[in-house]
Amino acid sequence: MSQTATRVGARHGHSFDLKKYLETRTEAVNRALDAYLPPASTRPATIHKAMRYSLFAGGKRMRPALCLAAAEACGGNESAAMPLACAVECVHTYSLIHDDLPAMDNDDYRRGKLTNHKVFGEGIAILAGDALLTQAFAIAAEFRPTPRYSHDQIFRELTHAGGSLQLIAGQVADLEGEGRKLSASQLRYIHERKTSALLCCAVRLGGMSANCPAPQLKALTDFGHNVGLAFQIIDDILDITQTSEHLGKTAGKDTAAKKATYPSIVGLEKSRRIAKRLTNRAFEALKIFRGRASALEALAIYLLQRDR
Amino acid sequence: MSQTATRVGARHGHSFDLKKYLETRTEAVNRALDAYLPPASTRPATIHKAMRYSLFAGGKRMRPALCLAAAEACGGNESAAMPLACAVECVHTYSLIHDDLPAMDNDDYRRGKLTNHKVFGEGIAILAGDALLTQAFAIAAEFRPTPRYSHDQIFRELTHAGGSLQLIAGQVADLEGEGRKLSASQLRYIHERKTSALLCCAVRLGGMSANCPAPQLKALTDFGHNVGLAFQIIDDILDITQTSEHLGKTAGKDTAAKKATYPSIVGLEKSRRIAKRLTNRAFEALKIFRGRASALEALAIYLLQRDR
């Protein structure tokens, strides 16, 4: 366990069984997603098979887990947060399908399996992404408003994080930055949008499902922002230090595509230090929950220490 | 004027100035869309330029006009219907950008201008479509619920029409039907989804913005369904009978792509008769509005008689 992990463990005087937590949450999320999506046999079968292929390709369900854990920290329950957790996962999966296309990152593998367009062809892959994005909003409509948070606020939250100012802005800046020398602040701009925005949205939506008061929502926002930035730095580090086989996707792609990454700008060691500092800041934000945020803390440590 | 047009004119004993109606509505819709979208200079500028390029490429704004006209028929007002009219237009525009991509219909021209990917490249065109789809839901969130229709109902309406069971199902079936011999009923399946679903959604949303009672919503649904089917048959006829220059997009594409169309299955004359019959059925559905649906009637005639 890293220093950070040990510190957190000591602070709360208990160990949290993250493996079990993730197992049960992943199962629950998979069941819910399965129920929210049209069966694979629904006509036209091609599109529903393609949507399900990527949605059930073994994703780690980190965003749904963060969403559910945030709801729990705010005293909410899993079933209220579930539609929002699933909606975020659909947005995430659509963005991966489109990012993997030949016109974008041109990836053949994702999570150790062929990418959507390698199996179904580019036309269907584009449509499967479109359909998952649309489905995300259909699922979000299943959310039951709370006294503080109405349907339209939930939709604004999700469309903002997934839209042209955040998730898509990040992908555009990423595409445009290829082969160019970026400063650390330009890279941070990309990371904040490409990764942090949707992670942050996941925890905020979790809090909103639990009708959290404003100070808790602010704390979740700080937590999500910092964890999201750390997450992307770790991703960049793993792209350099791990094999494709281990990652289940093509390693070394950033270097090959001449993409700026934290390791390429500040080096591996400093990148690791930055990721740890961000994770510590994420922990600080959780103080307000007075020990009820063990799942969020454990997830943050896991995201920092993961090797794939 | 066709027989249908004359009959309708005679029935209501007045002439409707559709040209002026469309001019004022198009202006209002363009102003609203401009206000709903981030300015073209918003960082990253590429994506906002690309979104606006297709959204303001001279579209006829038929779906927004139908939405506003439906609201009017139900005694509602334009400003209440406007976010929904604009949301539908964003869904429509995203679907055109993606349909024109090389992996789909591979079109170079649309509305007399280069298609999005010809100007911005495939990667940005895919993202511009994604961003417009996301923006559609952000705009729909601006709708003010009425006693009968809540935010989540509006979202379900839009995600259903734009999703994998309707709009996207139609595009998939269209792609899969290329080069195959289709029956008239298989073709109708495609038309109902590819075209009719979103047109029907536009008029239904207009009615919902006016808090219309169930019988009016049913009437609008019948109207939209029939007008939508007629619309696509006319589109197929124009693809054969008009030049590319006149249409502003590549004519004869259906024949070149060996796509089944009504004219290819039942011939030009019978196709025209079917389109007229569908338009008549659309008129029948409007009886319930007792003369308050002049704009919807005029739009249906226009869609039947248009030559581009």
Looking at per-residue pLDDT, the higher value among A127 and A291 belongs to A127
A154 confidence band (pLDDT: 50, 70, 90): very high
A contact test, residue of B36, B43, B47 with most A CBs within 10 A:
B47
Of A142, A152, A165, the CB nearest to B141: A152
When mean pLDDT is compared across A52-56, A260-264, B113-117, the lowest value belongs to A260-264
A14 confidence band (pLDDT: 50, 70, 90): low
Mean pLDDT in residue range A199-205: 98
B103 at A interface, C-beta within 8 A = yes
B contact test, residue of A105, A135, A172, A175 with most B CBs within 10 A:
A172
The reported pTM is 0.94
| Å between A254 CA and nearest CA of chain B | 18
d(CA A81, CA A252) in angstroms, rounded, equals: 36
Q: What is the per-residue pLDDT for A252?
A: 79
Which helix (H) or strand (E) covers residue A113, if one does?
strand A113-114
A308 confidence band (pLDDT: 50, 70, 90): confident
Q: What is the per-residue pLDDT for B168?
A: 98
Tokens of A63: 């965003």
List the beta strands (DSSP E) in chain B.
109-110, 113-114
d(CA B107, CA B101) in angstroms, rounded, equals: 7
When mean pLDDT is compared across A9-23, A56-70, B25-39, B234-248, the lowest value belongs to A9-23
Q: Please answer yes or no on whether A163 and B134 come within 8 Å at the CB atom.
A: yes
A257 at B interface, C-beta within 8 A = no
User: Which segments of chain B have a pLDDT < 50?
Assistant: 1-13
A156 at B interface, C-beta within 8 A = yes
Mean pLDDT in residue range A64-92: 98
Q: What is the per-residue pLDDT for A4?
A: 47
A12 confidence band (pLDDT: 50, 70, 90): very low
d(CA B75, CA B207) in angstroms, rounded, equals: 9
Interface of A with B in 207-246 (CB under 8 A): none
Q: What is the per-residue pLDDT for B5?
A: 45
Averaged pLDDT score across all residues of chain A = 92
A255 confidence band (pLDDT: 50, 70, 90): confident
Of B44, B101, B138, the CB nearest to A159: B138
Q: What is the per-residue pLDDT for B14?
A: 52
What percent of chain A has pLDDT above 70? 95
Looking at per-residue pLDDT, the higher value among A211 and B111 belongs to A211
Per residue, the 3-state secondary structure of chain B, as one string, reads CCHHHHHHHHHHCCCCCHHHHHHHHHHHHHHHHHHHCCCCCCCCHHHHHHHHHHHCCCCCCHHHHHHHHHHHHCCCCHHHHHHHHHHHHHHHHHHHHHHCCCCCCCCCEECCEECHHHHHCHHHHHHHHHHHHHHHHHHHCCCCCCCCCCHHHHHHHHHHHHCCCCHHHHHHHHHHHCCCCCCHHHHHHHHHHHHHHHHHHHHHHHHHHCCCCHHHHHHHHHHHHHHHHHHHHHHHHHHHHCCHHHHCCCCCHHHHCCCCCHHHHHCHHHHHHHHHHHHHHHHHHHHHHCCCCHHHHHHHHHHHHCCC
Residue A47 has pLDDT above 50, yes or no: yes
Q: Which domains does chain B have, with CATH numbers?
A: 14-305 (1.10.600.10)
Please name the residue of chain B whose CA is at the shortest distance from the CA of residue A42: B165
